[in-house]
Amino acid sequence: MDAQTATKGLCINGRWVPSASGRTMNVISPVTGEQVATVTRGSREDVGNAVNAAHAAQPAFARLTAFERGRLCHRIADLIERRREDLAEYLTLEQGKPYHAEALGEVDTTAVMFRLAAEDITRLESAVIPSNDRAKRIFTIRQPRGVYGVITPWNFPLAIPAEYLSAGLAGGNAIVWVPAPTTAGCAIRMMECLLEAEVPNGVLNLVTGEGAEVGDEVAGHPGIDAIGFTGSSATGLHVSRRAAGKPQLLELGGNSPTIVLGDADVTEAALRVGRGAFRNAGQICDSTERILVDRSIHDNFVAVLLDVAGTFRLGDPRKRDTTLGPLNNERPARQLDHHVEDALQKGARILTGGRHEEGMPTDLYYPATVVDNVGPDMLFNLEETFAPVAPVLSFDEEDQAVAIANSAPSGLVAALFTHDLRKAFRIAEHLQAGIVNINESSAYWQPHTPFGGYSGKTSGTGRLGGRYTLLEMTQIKSLVVDIGE
């Protein structure tokens, strides 16, 4: 599996162009520590050029029928599927996730996103509203928002952009897309698929570069009509402020609590919790990051969870037997070290893992980590860790578990395990999260279901997922007609 250095970067008005500044940036593989791409480093001026191209192209694109835009999305999905292995190979090298266990699956999900949008846009009905005036008829239509700015992260560099790009294109928007710099090569390869599918010139523009420059410019540019962003809560708050007054679709950080009640199937719960904590090296916004276990089953649960952690094989993600790859960059690595140090100082115990693996090509390889005796005041409970760690807390009463679960600022996804249906519904309704999974990992999600944060928390606004993304990325217009008497 060899890397091919990317020499492209900015795609503006359907053409690959250099930055106005002439700058480039290197992309380093977390797998090998070697440079795998040299890409263009965009500037604020480049963003302006992309916005101008999008505004010029959007009106004609909006005039296409929903069925025409749906066929475009199907063509994109066809090309992604045709390049499945190539996309997955490069994804593994640049992002770090295991090729066989995860990367191929992400490519498949990326294609699914475009197919869902292709079908949903042709069924996106709107309402006819009764009138109190016999001479009036009131109905609604959905229209594009215009030029959408889309800023995407590095943990799912194909699937997360596809959530926005598929719905944005299906809905008739033009887009200026800024991907994470550490996975800019993945964005270039995905952009090649969209161009080959004959996305009209200017409708989708790619600007690679540093988020503090090009991402900031997209968020605040007066020519951007709406903004979509997936990333950390801190960066999302900055994006929201820069995009004040614009429609915003923000999917931000999580610190997903999982409550395991005393009547739960301990083995099944531990298996699913482990998968939720360690998949994609824990670098998922809905990763299982806090495990609240009834004290009566604590010891048994932890024993099984340790067995589950032992099944995750850390190593070169290009190898077939690897199920846990490296972290993508230094930031989550430092965050994990900080949280581990905080927990140890406050009385927690590291049962397995807890430090980077020696003898690997980079310092980003961390084994599956289990931390016990975690308290509500520890950073593991209060902040997103974004690493392959399973922190275990104990509780005695149901209300105590709910209070601990709700004590964190985030509110994206929660989960609980129980055989008592009444308890399941009662607790689910009290958990402050946009999604609650029952007898399933917090990291479980189907792409057509609504996904987003809870009001009053820091996990974002709006909903991603199937037609719900389309509803966010289009706007409703009411039409009133006087038919006379």
Alpha-carbon distances, residue 440 vs 271, 380, 415, 437 (angstroms): 10, 21, 7, 6
Whole-angstrom distance, CA of residue 15 vs CA of residue 107: 25
Angstrom distance (rounded) from CA 104 to CA 214: 30
**Alpha carbons 5 and 26: distance in angstroms, whole number:** 10
Check if 251 is active-site.
yes
Q: What is the DSSP letter of 100?
A: I
Task: Determine whether 73 is an active site residue.
Answer: no
Q: Which of 16, 68, 6, 77 is nearest to 46 (CA)?
A: 16
- Where in 57-135 does DSSP place strands (E)? 128-129
Q: Which of 251, 383, 398, 472 is flagged as catalytic?
A: 251
Cα distance between residue 206 and residue 10, in whole Å? 5
Report DSSP state, residue 181: G
β-pairing, 349-352 vs 369-372, is antiparallel
Check if the beta carbon of residue 167 is closer than 8 Å to that of residue 473. Answer: yes
Q: List, in sequence order, the alpha helices (H) in 83-137.
A: 84-95, 104-120
CA atoms within 13 A on the CB side of 132: 0
Among the options 213, 285, 398, 472, which is catalytic? Answer: 285
Residues marked active site are found at 251, 285
